[in-house]
Structure 1
Amino acid sequence: MRNVELSAKDISCNHCKMTIENGISGSVGVTSVQVDIDTKKVDVIFDESKITVDTLLGQLLELGYPAEVTVG
């Protein structure tokens, strides 16, 4: 398992949080998704053999939240 922290500057409310958590948590290989509204961070635990960081970034972009890797 791998942990990555992503920064998505457009996160501003609970709706954003739920959209991201629901949109990514169902992806194959994703174990956990936690969004912090105050810091605009998305913490994802995932299986690298099933999904890549680039795929996660693409999913966030499709959801309307462009992001970049901050840790991981």
Structure 2
Amino acid sequence: MAQKTIEVQGMTCGHCKSSVEGALSALDGVNEANVDLEANNVAVEYDESKVDASSMAEAIEDQGYDVVK
């Protein structure tokens, strides 16, 4: 399993946390997603053979948040 921390702007509350974690967890290959609201990021544990960083960024952006690239 690979790990990646993705910086996300616009998350401010528990609903934001749930939206981002839910969107990432729904992707095939994502094992775990943990949002840190204070740090404005999400730590993701995933299978590199099933999902890539651009797919994860797209899932976050589809929820209305900005991924810092």
For the 8 Å contact 1:57–1:68, the answer to whether it is kept is no
Give the distance between the partners of 1:62 and 1:34, measured in 2 at CA: 18
For residues 12-52 of structure 1, give each alpha carbon's deviation from its aligned partner in whole angstroms, at most 9, with x where no partner exists: 11110001111111210000000011111100000010000
Moved over 3 A (4+): none
Identical residues among aligned pairs (%): 28
When the two structures are aligned, how many residues end up with a matched partner?
69
Aligned-residue CA RMSD (Å)? 1.0
Alignment correspondent of 1:7? 7
Task: Identify the residue that residue 28 of structure 2 maps to in structure 1.
Answer: 28
Normalization by structure 1: what TM-score? 0.89
Contact 2:9 2:68 (C-alpha < 8 Å) held by counterparts: no
Q: Which residue of 1 aligns with 2:66?
A: 66
